[in-house]
A and B are shown apart, each in its own frame.
Chain A
Amino acid sequence: MTQALNQTLLARATAKLGPKASLAVLGLVLIALLAMPLLHLLPADNALHVSAYGLTLVGKILCYAIVALALDLVWGYAGMLSLGHGLFFALGGYAMGMYLMRQSAGDGLPAFMSFLAWSELPWYWYGTSNFLWAMCLVVLAPGLLALVFGFFAFRSRIKGVYFSIMTQALTFAGMLLFFRNETGFGGNNGFTNFRTILGFDITAPGTRAFLFFCTVLLLVGSLALGFALARSKFGRVLTALRDAENRLMFCGYDPRGYKLFIWVLSAVLCGLAGALYVPQVGIINPSEMSPTNSIEAAIWVALGGRGTLIGPLLGAGLVNGMKSWFTVAFPEYWLFALGALFIVITLFLPKGVIGLLRKEKDQ
């Protein structure tokens, strides 16, 4: 009797400790991330100095983590596997990239257009020399595309694997369009050779630190938004939608609005992540839209644990961390390793790394 009581008390104690411990870990990670840009500002000979390479690498991974979170909102919660989120990421990136191109071109046309002997800017790039309009485009381009695509897809009740294939086709079509020189997106070279952003040198430590800081802010903001959504009735409706869409309809909910809302929100988050990715990495080209990139994003989410908010961030960090190491150590084996990883995860960790951690904690 007392033993059983002790056991329940113990279980309760660990259950109480659990969320606290994870919160503590989260807090530490956040502090480390906030410290990184400050450490980058230290003189290069300081022992604690963070190199530009290190900062850019982590900044890039943080952008991917935002994509993973955005994908998890539509896949993990609403059950729609998108294999085309790279498109939204790239659209945000291109909008930002064009602004940076206009910055470095001054009053003239961007270099690739002069090279093609164009005399005029295509209409869709009007106003991109204005930072605010470029930022509007970062949100509008992926948002509107997602709205139109989602409206028709959800109206026609396209679901499951058909939805995945269509999103995959969409990103592939986008890639082909952006690859062409005459479409005004810089062809296969994309946009690069950026110099300044809002007049600041883009490679200066201060600018890098600020961009990194913005990325951390966006990630924390997205995470907070994700938590708020997941805890709201809206989040529960999404879960219900994933598990029993028919039941939900007969309860009087119109799934189209719910799907469209989360789908567009997810696309916009990806666009914002893309816009922060481009100035940090210094290039955007159509390969960002290649289907493999979007599939990789799905792997981050699956590996981390879909339907949780921290899982995808963990997955994006782990896979990209491994990728950085692998592509230096054994460059030609990376894709095999990624494939093997995905198989192992699917077979043995259906709930991802988060599922594994939770199980450990329960025992």
Chain B
Amino acid sequence: MRATPVPEFMLEPAFDPAGSGRDALGLGSAAAKGLDVRHGTILTLEGINVSFDGFRAITDLNLYIGVGELRCIIGPNGAGKTTMMDVITGKTRPDNGVAYFGDTLDLTQMSEVEIAQAGIGRKFQKPTVFEALSVFENLELALKTDKSVWASLRARLSGAQKDRIEEVLTTIRLESSRHRPAGLLSHGQKQFLEIGMLLVQDPQLLLLDEPVAGMTDAETEFTAELFKSLARKHSLMVVEHDMGFVGSIADHVTVLHQGSVLAEGSLEEVQANERVIEVYLGR
């Protein structure tokens, strides 16, 4: 558990001036040149409402993620966690509300593809990889590059791109299975492959839906280290049920309940919160 005290409703991450070792992964900057983050928030959700046939999945949701922050989202089933990710990635359109990536990109006006290209990467709850392709090819497709039809017809991997893929293969510990079809990987390996695909995509904001589900303890521990090394260079939003995992990575935790924010703060704070206890344990 991190010792750094985290003020409540902090929008900007606490920078750790000593921790320059996190550059070792050679990942890009927290915000691309085109992305305007002068106010220090990479993601702004304000007054978001989503309903499906009268069922209100998200009610007046307000959420801010700071640049370089690692935010964990917890909440009971049906709290609207996945729906919120759908709104951010353009899969679901909110009925009303404001969703901004950086200060200028209006997510409610962008398509899924545009959002992905703008720099939001997503890992699904169920690991989703291209099963018929090899591990290497999966990473090749996810690699940050021109993704138009014409570019794909002529694409050749450059030396630097190959090195980048090799590097991520090492990071996710799949270097010995690079030529295996992804469909033959174990559940945990698929999770890592999908995380690796996010890494080569080099997004500024990573949305991770239950990334450690089905992982062994050692793998979970390794993932926690990996995520901590990604934060600051990237902003991360992690939905997870595993409290041990959340405790080991999070600066800041948001509790969702019935489609809106119930509590926000450090894990200790939210765990001590009366309303959170009520929701989780029932009356």
Q: Write the residues of chain A forming the contact surface with B, with a CB cutoff of 8 angstroms.
A: 229, 232-234, 236-237, 239-240, 242-244, 246-254, 257-258, 261
Determine the distance from Cα of A244 to Cα of B140 in the docked complex, in whole angstroms. 15
A251 touches B153 (CB 8 A): no
A-B residue pairs in contact (CB < 8 Å), sample of 21: A232-B152, A233-B152, A233-B153, A234-B155, A236-B137, A239-B132, A240-B130, A240-B141, A243-B131, A244-B128, A246-B91, A246-B128, A247-B130, A249-B113, A250-B112, A251-B141, A251-B142, A251-B201, A252-B147, A253-B141, A254-B113
B121 within 8 A of A: yes
B116 pairs with A252, CB closer than 8 A: yes
B140 touching A251, Cβ below 8 Å: no
Taking Cβ atoms with an 8 Å cutoff, the residues of B that contact A are 89, 91, 111-113, 116-117, 121-122, 124, 128-133, 137, 140-142, 144, 147-149, 152-155, 197, 201
Whether the Cβ atoms of B155 and A233 lie closer than 8 Å is yes
Instruction: Give CA–CA (A232, B111) in the complex, Å.
Output: 27
In the assembled complex, the CB of A253 is this many whole angstroms from the nearest CB of chain B, namely: 5
Q: Are B149 and A258 in contact (CB under 8 A)?
A: yes
B200 nearest in chain A by CB position? A251
Kindly identify which residue among B122, B133, B152, B154 contacts A250, using a CB–CB cutoff of 8 Å: B122
Contacts of A247 in B (CB 8 A): 124, 128-130
Contact of B147 among A229, A239, A251, A261 (CB under 8 A): A251
Complex: how many Å from CA A242 to CA B183? 14
Tell me, in angstroms, the Cα distance from A239 to B138 when the chains sit together: 11
Taken together as a complex, chains A and B put the C-alpha atoms of A32 and B268 apart, in Å, by 78
Contact B116 A250 (CB under 8 A): yes
List of B residues within 8 angstroms of A258 by Cβ:
149, 152
* Nearest B residue (CB) for A229: B153
Contacts of B121 in A (CB 8 A): 250
Task: Please determine whether A233 and B149 come into contact, CB atoms closer than 8 angstroms.
Answer: no
> A261 with B149: in contact, given A239-B133, A251-B201 (CB under 8 Å)?
yes
Q: Chain A contacts of B201 at CB under 8 A? A: 251-252
In whole angstroms, what is the CA distance A236 to B144 when docked? Answer: 16
> In the complex, what residues of B have CB within 8 A of residue A232's CB?
152-155
Closest 9 CB pairs of A and B: A233-B155, A252-B116, A240-B130, A234-B152, A257-B149, A247-B128, A254-B113, A252-B117, A233-B152
B249 to chain A, nearest CB (A): 22
In the bound complex, how far is the Cα of B114 from the Cα of A254, in angstroms?
9
Q: Tell whether A236 pairs with B141 under 8 Å between CB atoms, given A249-B112, A250-B121, A253-B113.
A: yes
For A251, the chain B residues whose CB sits under 8 A away are 116, 141-142, 147, 197, 201
Q: Which residues of B contact A254 (CB under 8 A)?
A: 111, 113, 147-148
CB distance from B131 to the nearest CB of A (A): 5
Nearest B residue (CB) for A262: B149
Q: In the complex, are the beta carbons of B129 and A244 less than 8 A apart?
A: yes
